[in-house]
């Protein structure tokens, strides 16, 4: 069926072998749930896993207790549901592990999965694919063999066309330009699509709470930001400090001191990123009222602004570039929000305050409110979608 099948490297499963005969599964089917439990054990035992915190985190997501927790969350909502059929996923090319989460959630929702993994040769992909292959080869999970196909291929409109033409659900990661490109390939009329566009995130810190924080905060913040070069859509780029001016200043001093100490051990900035960050600061200086807060080196770039607007997102720069704002109330946060704002991470007891702020102000952005350190934790609620419900079909019965 495919014109250039040789361009496709099949890492797991098989392509186009009578897909019509693959039946959808109910969400959280027993076989699928136990498959992930087994996958978790394999991943945890894998000798290479310990080198890759993202593989460990995925293993943690797959473990039996977590899957069971998710199943319970959807109890009462999935009885009349089945997967949509065949799902086709385009994973981002520089976060190796997202393909695995995308596949997991689609399978849990009851779909067969064709996943295009990153074309870069990440070890993490080899580890996860290896474990999946091992399980599918066993008699226990061979029934799932038709449900997992992992492929790698270079940019190709033709292959996107072919795979799109057979899918009931398409999932596109990788931001605006990827979405735009993949959307050139038509979907069958009944198929639907979930897209993960470019997003930008911010953090709100209770200054008083930060003043008494310990180094664990620096560690959590690192995981939210520098661990992915501050370039994940959930990484905060804007820090909103809540408190009186002098307390905010002291808290920021304390906080960045801790983060800086942590970075000296853990992170190095590539020369071109140093220049990028410096350029971003100059750009912001030209266009907005701001003050650069001096730091001993280029690890952290701090830019204090005096008002918030949605276009601040334009001045973002990967690799440790932070726009900061001090205020005694949350009100000004509304000025920052646009549909592009995805995650607000917080420190201090702010979850309820933030939730009611978003709802009361009817903000057209902010899909997630999570504590510092949890921004990258994958959940079936992502980017404002309930993925399990979006990826399954509900049968109405009267």
Partner 1 sequence: MVNLDTILQQPVYGTAHAEKTALLADTLRELTLYHDSNCPEYHRILRAFGYTRKRIGAVEDHRDLPFIPVRLFKEYEMRSVSESELFKTMTSSGTTGQQVSKIFLDRQTSSAQSKVLARIMCEYTGKKRLPMIILDTSAVIKNRMMFSARGAGILGFQMLGADRVFALNEDMKLDIAALEAFLEKHSGERIFLFGFTFMIWQHFCKVLRETGERPDLSRGVLVHGGGWKKLADQHISTEAFREELKELCGITDVHDYYGMVEQTGTISMECECGHLHPSTFSDVIIRDSFDFSVCPHGKKGIIQVVSVLPHSYPGHSLLTEDEGVIVGEDDCPCGRKGVYFHVLGRLKNAEIRGCSDTYAEKS
Nearest Cα residue to 120 out of 152, 145, 88, 151 = 152
Residue 213 binds to partner 1 (criterion: CB under 8 A) = no
Residues that bind partner 1 (rule: CB under 8 A) add up to a total of 56
Told to check if 7 binds partner 1 by CB under 8 A, we report: no
Q: Does residue number 263 form part of the binding site for partner 1 (CB under 8 A)?
A: no
Residues from 214 through 253 that contact partner 1 (CB under 8 A)? 228-233, 235
Q: Which stretch binds partner 1 (CB under 8 A): 75-83, 195-203, 236-244, 326-334?
A: 195-203
Are 197 and 177 a contacting pair, CB within 8 Å? no
Which of residues 9, 297, 311, 331 is near partner 1 by CB under 8 A? 297
51, 61, 48: which is closest to 101 by C-alpha? 61
* Residues 180-200 as b or e (16 or more Cβ within 10 Å = b): eebeebebeeebebbbbbebb
CB atoms within 10 A of CB 274: 16
Q: Does 325 bind partner 1 (CB under 8 A)?
A: no
CB of residue 173 to partner 1, shortest distance in Å: 7
Is residue 339 close enough to count as binding partner 1 by CB under 8 A?
A: no
Are 316 and 237 in contact by the 8 Å Cβ rule? The answer is: yes
Residue 60 DSSP SS3: helix
List the one residue from 11, 105, 144, 284 that touches partner 1 (CB under 8 A).
284
Q: What is the H or E stretch that residue 171 is in? A: strand 169-172
| Alpha-carbon gap, residue 237 to 284, rounded angstroms | 13
> Which CB, 138 or 268, lies closer to partner 1?
268
Rule CB under 8 A: which of 42-71 touch partner 1? Answer: none
Residues 6+ apart with CB under 8 A from 298: 269, 274, 277, 278
CA 160 to chain centroid, in Å, comes to 22
| Footprint of partner 1 on 144-163 (CB under 8 A) | 154-155
Structure tokens that stand for 377 in this block = 């934790």
Contact 164, 190 (CB under 8 A): no
* Cβ at position 10, least distance to partner 1 in Å: 18
Q: Name which of 356, 333, 302 is nearest 201 in CA terms.
A: 333
Shorter beta-carbon distance to partner 1: residue 61 or 196: 196
* Cβ closest to partner 1, residue 49 vs residue 195: 195
Q: Which is nearer to partner 1, 347 or 378 (CB)?
A: 378
Q: 112-141: which residues touch partner 1 (CB under 8 A)?
A: 118-120
Residues 163-192 that bind partner 1 (CB under 8 A): 173-178, 181-182
- The residue (of 3 and 314) whose beta carbon lies closer to partner 1 is 314
Provide Rg for the chain, Cα atoms: 22
Contact residues for partner 1, defined by CB under 8 A: 90, 92-95, 98, 118-120, 154-155, 173-178, 181-182, 196, 198-199, 228-233, 235, 268-275, 278-279, 281-286, 290-292, 294, 296-299, 303, 318-319
């Amino acid at each position: 069926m495919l014109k250039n099948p040789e361009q496709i490297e099949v890492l797991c499963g098989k392509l186009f072998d009578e897909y019509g005969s693959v039946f959808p599964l109910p969400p959280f089917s027993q076989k699928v749930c136990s498959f992930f439990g087994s996958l978790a054990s394999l991943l945890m035992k894998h000798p290479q896993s310990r080198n890759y915190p993202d593989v460990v985190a995925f293993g943690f997501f797959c473990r039996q207790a977590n899957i069971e927790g998710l199943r319970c969350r959807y109890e009462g909502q999935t009885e009349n549901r089945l997967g949509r059929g065949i799902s086709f996923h385009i994973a981002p090319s520089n976060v190796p592990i997202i393909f695995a989460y995308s596949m997991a959630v689609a399978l849990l929702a009851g779909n067969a999965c064709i996943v295009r993994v990153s074309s870069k040769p990440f070890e993490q992909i080899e580890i996860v694919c290896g474990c999946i292959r091992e399980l599918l080869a066993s008699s226990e999970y061979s029934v799932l063999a038709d449900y997992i196909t992992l492929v790698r291929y270079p940019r190709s409109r033709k292959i996107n066309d072919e795979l799109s033409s057979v899918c009931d659900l398409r999932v596109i990661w990788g931001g605006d330009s990827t979405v735009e490109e993949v959307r050139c390939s038509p979907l069958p009329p009944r198929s639907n699509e979930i897209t993960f566009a470019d997003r930008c995130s911010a953090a709100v810190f209770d200054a008083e709470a930060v003043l008494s924080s310990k180094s664990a905060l620096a560690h959590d913040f690192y995981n939210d930001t520098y661990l992915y070069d501050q370039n994940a859509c959930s990484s905060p780029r804007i820090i909103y400090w809540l408190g009186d001016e002098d307390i905010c200043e002291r808290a920021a001093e304390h906080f960045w001191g801790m983060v800086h100490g942590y970075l000296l051990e853990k992170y190095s900035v590539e020369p071109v990123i140093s220049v990028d960050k410096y350029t971003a600061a100059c750009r912001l200086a030209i266009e907005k009222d701001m003050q650069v807060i001096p730091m001993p080196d280029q690890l952290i770039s701090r830019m204090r602004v005096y008002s918030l607007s949605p276009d601040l997102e334009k001045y973002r720069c990967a690799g440790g570039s932070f726009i900061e704002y001090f205020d005694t109330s949350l009100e000004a946060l509304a000025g920052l929000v646009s549909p592009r704002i995805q995650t607000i991470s917080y420190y201090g007891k702010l979850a309820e305050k933030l939730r009611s702020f978003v709802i009361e102000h009817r903000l057209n952005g902010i899909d997630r409110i999570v504590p510092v350190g949890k921004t990258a934790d994958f959940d079936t609620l992502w980017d404002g979608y309930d993925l399990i419900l979006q990826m399954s079909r509900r049968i109405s019965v009267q």
